[in-house]
A = this chain, B = another copy of it.
């Protein structure tokens, strides 16, 4: 037997057959081509020798790597690890492996990553990096199966699995409205991301839904879903003299930024201003105050994205793709409280 890892020909020799026969006997799909008891013999030999196929050689021949590229803007954002877990779990069940790449939100790093993935022959790609109008990904999508997660591009050319953002912010503003808030601000996320734009739009709609008229002076856009941008946005709102008693932030990170801005100005949450976030990131219940936010099913989104992708890979390439939108749920914690006016009234009564 040759040295090093055992290979197909070793098994063949041991079983007294040709390597090709071993190959056929070992694959579920081609097993029927070989006599049942030779198959048994081969299987036994493979078992005894502890044969494991060399995936490199296999890939070279078949052009499939059983590898899925996962493009993330930033693994450090607590939003993503649970999604990745979901993705990995679903992929593993199908014998696939995830290859994770951070893009830092830089288009060129994304380009480089896509390139790497493509040349490494990933069988498909799950991207969380898409900007709303993303030519790069759209182009890449023509070359390999792709699905988006937590993002969406303008013309639904790429299937996506997303949380029900509209419902989420609706629940948020209804909650605020029910608490008596009438002047509600929006510390919005970047508008070049679908999540940012969708939530902003949903915010406007939800406000009208509860009979409030949107006020442009109560809306400020951040340039990223980050703490700094959240703080900056809130500061600029306050700076401009806007008056409001509650705000909904683009996501939890921005909400945390708002916390910072608030304490910096000696304001209290929720006494002066109620804030609600988005995502229910890990430890959102441990913040000061515990953050009211809308919970999205991170893990489930990951699973669904992976399953969707696998379906497109294995499948006939059809399933033209309704986006999958998963339900969300408002988690009420201590960062929201009745509006001051109502508290005053209650105190008076």
Interface residues of A (CB under 8 A from B): 5, 52-57, 59-60, 65, 75-76, 78, 81-82, 84-85, 88, 97-102, 115-116, 119-121, 256, 259, 282-283, 286-290
A52 in complex: contacting residue of B5, B60, B119, B288, CB < 8 Å: B119
Task: Point out the residues of chain B lying under 8 angstroms from A75, CB to CB.
Answer: 81, 84-85
Do B88 and A102 touch across chains, with their CB atoms under 8 A apart? yes
Do A119 and B85 touch across chains, with their CB atoms under 8 A apart? no
Copies in the complex: 2
Can you add 17 more A-B contacts, CB < 8 Å, to A5-B119, A100-B100? A52-B119, A55-B121, A56-B60, A56-B121, A75-B84, A76-B81, A76-B82, A76-B85, A76-B282, A88-B102, A97-B116, A99-B99, A256-B283, A259-B286, A286-B287, A286-B288, A287-B287
Do A85 and B102 touch across chains, with their CB atoms under 8 A apart? yes
Q: List 17 A-B contacts (CB under 8 A).
A: A52-B119, A55-B120, A55-B121, A56-B60, A75-B84, A76-B85, A76-B282, A78-B283, A97-B116, A98-B100, A99-B99, A256-B283, A256-B286, A283-B283, A283-B287, A286-B288, A287-B288
* Complex: chain B residue closest to A82, CB-CB: B76
Which secondary structure characterizes the binding site on chain A?
mixed
Task: Point out the residues of chain B lying under 8 angstroms from A283, CB to CB.
Answer: 78, 256, 283, 287
A119 in complex: contacting residue of B53, B99, B290, CB < 8 Å: B53
Write the nearest CB–CB distance from A62 to chain B, whole angstroms: 10
A290 to B286, CA, bound (A): 10
